[in-house]
Amino acid sequence: MKKILLASVALFGFAGAASAADLPVRAAPPAPIVAAVPVFTWTGFYVGVNAGVGFNNGDDDLVFNPTTTIFADSNNDASFVGGGQVGYNYQMGSFVVGVEGDLQWADFGSTTYDFTGVGGGLYTRNSADWFGTVRARVGVAFDRALIYATGGWAFTDNRNGWTVGGGLEYAITNNLSAKLEGLYVNLDSDDFTVPGVVGTFSTGDTDFGVVRAGLNYRFGTY
């Protein structure tokens, strides 16, 4: 009888263990997978457009051979400027370095010179209607805001010079940014001749300021 009871207990114990093994395991559900939010960066290429105002300083004295100064009457000292730019930024921590080139349409009007003292009359000469720059940019980023200084080479027609300035740029979206920028541009003197007047004339350095706003589309934000 004892053997029969022991066999029964063993049988029921084995059956209970088998049934427990078939029961589903209660475990915590897996944690949801959340994609990491990308970190914003200024690194990458960009292209853009800009528009603003240029301010000529109005100093258009002319030098003749080279001791005689002929005063000039300059018109349209303030002008609309507009154009496009292309560049590249590289961000290292909070610091951003880059290079930018732009071409600008500008119309500073004409300048009238009085040549009556050297055998001629009044002569009107149109100013250049475009200029360009190639500049380095160095700035500090505060997340989507970038404060920067800029400077480099300026050119127009057959004249060269330099430019320096600064600005503020803000990323509206991951790829679109807006900027407000100011530049001072200084171009070398310009030599030319006047029909009917013997001799070569030279203007002084041409310098002007530019205040402009722009939009940039940036590729490969992160």
Amino acid at 50: N
For residue 18, the SS3 value is helix
| DSSP character at residue 6 | H
* Cα–Cα distance for residue pair 176/221, rounded to 1 Å: 10
Q: What distance in Å separates the CA atoms of residue 66 and residue 13, rounded to the nearest whole number?
A: 119
Per-residue pLDDT tens, the chain, 222 aa: give them: 445 444 444 444 444 544 444 545 565 666 666 555 567 899 999 999 999 999 876 555 555 555 555 555 555 567 899 999 999 999 999 999 999 999 999 877 667 776 666 666 677 766 778 999 999 999 999 999 999 999 999 999 888 999 999 999 999 999 999 999 999 999 887 777 777 666 666 676 778 899 999 999 999 755
Which of 109, 220, 98, 221 is CA-nearest to residue 167?
98
Q: Which helix (H) or strand (E) holds 93?
A: none
Contacting residues for 143 by C-beta, under 8 A, at least 6 apart: 40
Upper half-sphere CA count for residue 155 (Cβ side, 13 Å): 10
- Mean pLDDT, the chain, rounded, equals 79
44-218 placed in CATH 2.40.160: yes
Residue 194: its pLDDT value, please?
Answer: 72
Q: Which residues contact 109 (CB under 8 A, 6 or more apart)?
A: 74, 75, 76, 77, 79, 126, 127
Q: Report yes or no on whether pTM surpasses 0.85.
A: no
Domain positions in the chain? 44-218
